[in-house]
Structure 1
């Protein structure tokens, strides 16, 4: 089993360009698996972890309800935002500046073949990272992602998650609000869940800005521990 994970930081990159890149990496992994099965070979499958920061964009998952986007395309355009229907699970979400988006493209045959466990590990990675900032984050039963003050009138989401998996290969991932402009969340019903707020790390810490690179490093540390992975930094493709 190949537990080496190639990490690339794509910087500030368009959503559609990143989605296409994800698809290419995902398809390459699946192709290796199909060829191994067809030809009886044992070529190792690669694993990837992409970091990216997107321009303002709203994405709607396969099972999502378009009514959870509360504005039309003209309003989105005026706000400099785009919209895509995509092939992950989950409902509507927002990505934008000040948010750490992570896309693990893993062959779970290299780790464990359990999608539920995979999602719980991604949540735990975020929970452990936030704990380093003195923030008690947790799961909310039946609602994927990471939350604060669950079970109170002040429950608020700080990290959204939505994935796609085929042949035990994953894509899409998580979006952690670090220095996010929360006003953009007002134009949708986040993840289709009414009546619950959204927050960002800088708001919770009472800071103007949090060091994003520091947060990325902490996330990768916990990812490597949880998945028993060896991380290798790769230069991002242009």
Structure 2
């Protein structure tokens, strides 16, 4: 089976994480590093994907500064979303062979990872056919937006960006009220704490998601991977 490097970066500025992704994508392309999964939290941030609908950002410059929320226009697919403390963000950087590549299948696999994690808490996660992401009823618990970087030294792609899974209840109020998340007005968001009624730690949930990711994507994860060491930075 393929090997996967897993690292827990704790809380990190969005710009720093984005630059780190770019660096690792190049290393994976050159076969200098194994496929990797970064797990982390972000400081408060809005990211606007390539769909580019700035009108879905409801706060002006002064309100953003008052709340300490950064804004980045980035190169993943999708519209605007929020990242912040209490949310588990995962950035898989995986090499995908060009032959037989199904980009939609990759997105569905990311959704499957979250759905399997929710099942551990007896929560039925699902999809909405017209939207990417994971839902519990009519509330979104995980947003997904990715980029497929064309490899330069091999015939294939290296993925970047990934998923944002709402763990803590505070995430629902801390940032989502300042945007129209993913441009979807008719549905709201939820969190794992809201659904379970339990107080949870993001780092603990990051450990739980690893075996589901390995199972769905066919990776062998060494026992020491469970410690989620932070040696990349």
Q: Report if TM-score (shorter chain) is over 0.5.
A: yes
Shift of 1:123: 0.3
Task: State the Cα deviation string for residues 149-173 of structure 1 (Å, max 9, x = none).
Answer: 1xxxxx1100000000023210000
The one of 74, 96, 109 equivalent to 2:97 is 109
Aligned residue number for residue 147 of structure 2: 164
State the alpha-carbon separation in 2 of the partners of residues 110 and 5 from structure 1: 20
The alpha-carbon deviation at position 132 of structure 1 amounts to 0.8
Q: Quick one: structure 1 residues 115 and 162, their matched pair in 2 at CA, closer, same or farther if it must change by over 3 Å?
A: same
Q: Secondary structure at the match of 1:158?
A: strand
For the aligned residues, what is the CA RMSD?
1.9
CA distance in 2, matches of 1:28, 1:212: 28
- Residues 96-120 of structure 1 show CA distances to partners (whole Å, capped at 9, x for unaligned) of 0000000000001299722111111
How far 1:45 moved relative to its partner? 6.2
Deviation at 1:206? 1.8
Ranges in structure 1 where 5+ consecutive residues have no aligned partner: 33-42, 150-154
Which of these two proteins has the greater Rg computed from alpha carbons? 1
User: Cα offset for 1:139?
Assistant: 0.6
Q: Write out per-residue CA displacement over residues 4-30 of structure 1, whole angstroms, 9 at most, x where no aligned residue.
A: 111111111110001000011112223
Partner residue in 2 for 1:220 = 210
Shift of 1:175: 0.2
Between the two proteins, the alignment pairs up a number of residues equal to: 220
Query: 1:26–1:171: 8 Å Cα contact kept in structure 2?
Result: yes
SS of structure 2 residue aligned to 1:5: strand
Tell me which residue corresponds to 2:166: 177
Residues 56/44 of structure 1: CA separation in 2 closer, same or farther (3 Å cut):
closer
- The offset of 1:217, in angstroms, is 2.0
Distance apart, 1:56 and its partner CA: 0.4
Distance 2:39 2:161 in 1: 11
Q: How does 1:33-112 map to 2 (within 5 A)?
A: 46-109=34-97
Task: Structure 2 unaligned segments of length 5 or more: list them.
Answer: 151-156
Q: Distance in 2 between matches of 1:22 and 1:49?
A: 10
Distance in 1 of aligned mates of 2:167 and 2:124:
15
CA spacing shift, 1:95–1:101, aligned 2, 3 Å:
same
Question: Post-superposition shift, 1:215?
Answer: 1.8
